């Protein structure tokens, strides 16, 4: 059963907005422990998933991902890898295939795999705040010194 209503705002967002509800803010949730991100065996055994794993870990902002996020990142990487494989298989057979009983054209079964794995991967990425719109929810990050767009953010 899904949760109802909007996602709760972070304590940082409430502080920025001046705590509009005037309720006490709970900052009791400790930051996750930092350490080495251990790649699960399921990802290590899949070349595509391992490539996604390496890409996400090498491009994530320092401190953005913690070892506790490893299972979610692993599942997301496996989703992208499965979607890629299904897409390649669909390219071989086409988007429409003949139904076994009637011979009429039907949607390729690979299309359902691509769509489902992409949807799961998208949701996991949003939970980990990886897409740009989700990263903005985390707050302002310092721009690199050689960033050509940094002058847009000067106050």
pLDDT tens for each residue of the chain, 155 residues long: 556 777 777 777 777 888 888 888 776 666 777 788 899 999 999 999 999 999 999 998 888 888 999 999 999 999 999 999 999 999 999 999 999 999 999 999 999 999 999 999 999 998 888 887 777 666 555 545 555 555 555 54
pTM equals 0.72
The pLDDT value recorded for residue 14 is 79
Q: How far apart are CA 75 and CA 123, in angstroms?
A: 11
Q: How far apart are CA 85 and CA 90, in angstroms?
A: 9
The pLDDT value recorded for residue 138 is 61
Coil/strand/helix, residue 107: strand
Coil/strand/helix, residue 122: helix
Number of helices and strands (H, E) in the chain?
Answer: 6, 2
The pLDDT value recorded for residue 139 is 56
């Amino acid at each position: 059963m899904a949760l109802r209503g909007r996602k709760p705002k972070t304590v940082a967002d409430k502080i920025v907005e001046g705590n509009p509800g005037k309720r006490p803010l709970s900052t009791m949730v400790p930051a996750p422990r930092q350490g080495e991100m251990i790649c699960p065996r399921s990802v290590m055994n899949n070349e595509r998933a391992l490539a996604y794993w390496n890409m996400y870990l090498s491009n994530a902002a320092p401190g953005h991902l913690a070892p506790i996020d490893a299972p979610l990142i692993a599942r997301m990487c496996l989703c992208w890898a499965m979607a890629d494989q299904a897409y390649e298989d669909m390219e071989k057979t086409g988007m429409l295939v003949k139904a076994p009983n009637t011979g009429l054209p039907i949607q390729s079964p690979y299309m359902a795999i691509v769509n489902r794995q992409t949807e799961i991967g998208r949701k996991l990425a949003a939970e980990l705040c990886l897409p740009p719109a989700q990263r903005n929810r985390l707050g302002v990050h310092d721009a690199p010194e050689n960033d050509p767009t940094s002058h847009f953010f000067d106050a």
